[in-house]
Structure 1
């Protein structure tokens, strides 16, 4: 079942390698992803090749990036003359537009290293127009934060920054024993769909992050206090936003309203690094 362990490849702790080895979970993933023969899939971190080995059968093209030199060689040899194109690179430095330009739109999938999962998700944000959907296996605690709804104790900056770009849904949990080596945390399979619901080309993302970060830096304070150096209470009234609420009780749309007002009426008199 697992092409990596038959060859006894040495695991590298520095890469945060926890390979998916549970065939039942892979079958469950296929059910949710529902691959079609015309699809082009881009897998981030093929690792041992368990998912790649099955998924490539169902799709037109399988594109894979794997940073581990030894695993890359093994994968390259195993998938020789198949519809699998493998790149031996760091995903965070991968030239997505250049190397995948003949395959857009792509569907992205991957079992992400826990320590850089958020970085990889933000990497994908740069190429939203080229991506149809994304399916990642990530740490369950992280998934709860990025998918949290307004008012939840998990709702925070990450929830807002990522939900501005994606509709995020936890599909199912995955226990530690589905991986090798066995991690100390639970994982889950998460779906990300690029959305235009909040996406606005006129929104200054730098200003948006500044306002959200400022509000959450004083999470226990109500907005008229946490954002008092930026907005006075009359602005909240004008924008129909309750200034007596805390940062975690404000929707993404409301943060967008504050951002647009800030960019148009306040920023010209305020310098931000």
Structure 2
């Protein structure tokens, strides 16, 4: 895959949940295109390893995207070191899949907290750092487009995230700050292997017309597009990065 090595020259990006998977791949992609990238994560050892891998254009800040005090500290640290942000990728979140009668109150609060509260307050707390014409990208999910059994709570949290995308696109329009989301399909990440048995992974690989599960780099390319001037006329949009899964293979979930 070719990169535009100067598309993010002089730009600063923040990626929450950037120590592995899609967040880490997005950090690699943006750095390859010239950006300075701040990555966050709750596990400091894993975050430090990711920053070492990313190189001198990366800066790590450990913290929890659901903790408002941590977000205040994050915003203060970014302001002190860089002064502003040109791109925010609100990526931090968790997967959780169970039938509705298996969802407890504690689990509901955990998933909504990680996937919706985390994105909402990350944007709120970093918004003062975003100049006019900046870009926000939120990580949603193909599940918001389909009714997939066993994903009621998770998909509802991601549908809320995309509604947040559309609403903020309208709210921030006077400042020409664009807000878009990406909806990954099945993506080969550590979480994908952790949450799905091997036989299920093999089964879902045949569902997308692309004939494979996606890679974190597929998602990173979409984030780079939405975060750059190449998508200057794209706003309030959800970009499905799912190999055609939701457009062509939706019947597989019926």
TM-score bucket of the superposed structures, by smaller chain = 0.3 to 0.5
Bigger radius of gyration among the two = 1
The alignment's TM-score, normalised by the length of structure 2, stands at 0.47
The structure showing larger relative contact order (alpha-carbon pairs under 8 Å, at least 6 residues apart) is 2
Determine which structure has the larger helix proportion and give its number: 2
